[in-house]
Amino acid sequence: MTDSTESPDLQRRSGLTRLKEGTYGGFFAVCAAITLLTTVAIIATLLSDAVVFFSQVPITEFLTSTSWSPNPRGGGQTFGIVALVIGTLTVTITAGFVALPVGTLTAIYLSEYATPNARSILKPMLEILAGIPTVVYGYFALVYITPALKATLFPGMSTFNALSASLMVGIMTIPMVSSISEDAMSSVPDDLRQAGYGLGATKFEVSTGIVVPASISGIASSYILAVSRAIGETMIVVVAMGAQARMPAVRDGLLGIPYINPADTLLESGMTITVAMVQIAGGDLTGGTIPYDAMFALGLTLFVVTLVMNVLSDIIAERYREEY
């Protein structure tokens, strides 16, 4: 090149080269478009059948009725999502009680206390928790956790129950909380920590008083993601929680204030939105029946809820992030 006296025309390329470039570029663009098409296809599939469902069952009945019995063989069908929502909330809240504190403490330990060596061992091991197939967790809950709890703490527990399923969902979501929170904590600049130490703060005070508040947006977004994961969790709940949609008994407490005993839902079998979908899918799949369409209505509900939570988590992580 250096020898040439005239400046070469760098842009000139043979027709074959240009054709090749265009073909490959086009192929890549088409593949990228498939991801967008997937979203469109999910929304279209869910909507097309959900619309049919809501033309048969009024949306107010779907959202307020407390009885769920799809009854694929016909007769006495009711489609009320409330009982399913209560089942889902039971699992999500109980799992949250496990995953959120444990995950946050893990993140603090990994980011503030652990030596590089300990971190390099602990982090991949925590990732294993998220990599175990969920049907295996469900099996663990049914076959090991429930008998263990029955033998020790709750003798009256039923074989299929919400508690052991929720505990497993909680353990599964720990790495989700810990890894995102730890990323947020690690990105807190060291100056802030040093400033804290300079003012005489202990490591505990620096961790809880400086690092955690400074990374609170990341922690919050990790919580939302973990909760959204717990809402969509299927196999653990299907295997270990059973499939009986039920409303918890409302009891009269002190001064006649009604309350719900958590044991009524936790130690009994129940049904989440995801279990309801799987139960219908286990029966009839050819389409055209109301239960089939109901499945898509439930899927749409699940999709909207998890999408809103993910977008929320994104917004929190973006907007409330402290800029350094």
Partner 1 sequence: MATDTDTARGEGFGEVSRVRGIVFEYLSLGASVLGIFALAVLLIYVTIDAFDLANADPLWLLTYFLTLVVPFLGFCLYSARDPALTRRAVAVAGGGLVAVAAVFTAIEAFVGEVPRLNWQLTYLFVAVIPLTGYLTYMGARGRPGSVGFGLIGRLIGGTAIGLAFTVLFLVFDERLWFLAYTLGIVPALLAYAYGQLRDTPAAVTAALPVSILGVLLAVFAREALRTYPTTAFIYLWTLAIPIAAAGAVVVNGRGSRTAALTAGGVPLALAAAVGLFGRAAGLGVGGPNALVVIAVTGVPVAVYLHRVFDAGDGLTGLGLPVLLAAGALAGALVVETFGIPTPSPWVSETFLTEAPSRTASEAGLYPAIVGSVIIIAMVAVLSFVLGVATSVFLEEYTADSGVVGGLTRLLQINIANLAAIPSVVYGLLGLGLFANFLGLGFGTAVTVSLTLSLLILPITIISAQEAIRSVPDDLRRGSDAMGATRWQTTKNVVLPEAFPGILTGTILALGRAIGETAPLIMVGAATTVFSPPSSLFSKFSAMPMQIYAWANFPQAEFRYGVVAAGVITLLIILIGMNGTAILLRNRAEEGH
Q: Which of 53, 62, 79, 296 binds partner 1 (CB under 8 A)?
A: 296
- Could you say which residues in the range 135-154 bind partner 1, by CB under 8 A? 135-136, 138-140, 142-144
Q: Which of 196, 218, 270, 291 binds partner 1 (CB under 8 A)?
A: 196
Cross-strand bridge partners of residue 46: none
Q: Which of 92, 164, 166, 207 binds partner 1 (CB under 8 A)?
A: 207
- Could you say which residues in the range 54-93 bind partner 1, by CB under 8 A? none
Q: What does the alpha-carbon distance between residue 274 and residue 241 come to, in Å, rounded to a whole number?
A: 11
* 311 touches partner 1 (CB under 8 A): yes
Decide: 239 and 55 in contact? Cβ < 8 Å: no
Toward partner 1, which CB reaches closer, 90 or 313? 313
Q: What does the alpha-carbon distance between residue 16 and residue 111 come to, in Å, rounded to a whole number?
A: 54
DSSP letters for 227-280:
HHHHHH--HHHHHHH-S---PPPEEE-GGG-EEE-HHHHHSS----HHHHHHHH
Helix (H, G, I), strand (E, B) or coil at 127: helix
Question: Measured from the CB of residue 250, what is the shortest distance to partner 1 in angstroms?
Answer: 30
Question: Measured from the CB of residue 230, what is the shortest distance to partner 1 in angstroms?
Answer: 10
* 285 touches partner 1 (CB under 8 A): yes
* 10 touches partner 1 (CB under 8 A): yes
User: 164: how many CB neighbours lie within 10 A of its CB?
Assistant: 30
- Could you say which residues in the range 229-248 bind partner 1, by CB under 8 A? 229, 231-235, 238-239
Token representation of residue 31: 């593949």
C-alpha separations of 291 from 15, 19, 72 in Å: 58, 52, 6
Q: Which of 51, 191, 203, 318 binds partner 1 (CB under 8 A)?
A: 203
Toward partner 1, which CB reaches closer, 77 or 134? 134
Question: Measured from the CB of residue 51, what is the shortest distance to partner 1 in angstroms?
Answer: 13
Decide: 62 and 54 in contact? Cβ < 8 Å: yes
Q: What does the alpha-carbon distance between residue 216 and residue 143 come to, in Å, rounded to a whole number?
A: 38
- Could you say which residues in the range 105-134 bind partner 1, by CB under 8 A? 105-106, 108-110, 113-114, 122, 125-126, 128-129, 131-134
* 220 touches partner 1 (CB under 8 A): no
Toward partner 1, which CB reaches closer, 170 or 248? 170
Decide: 239 and 139 in contact? Cβ < 8 Å: yes
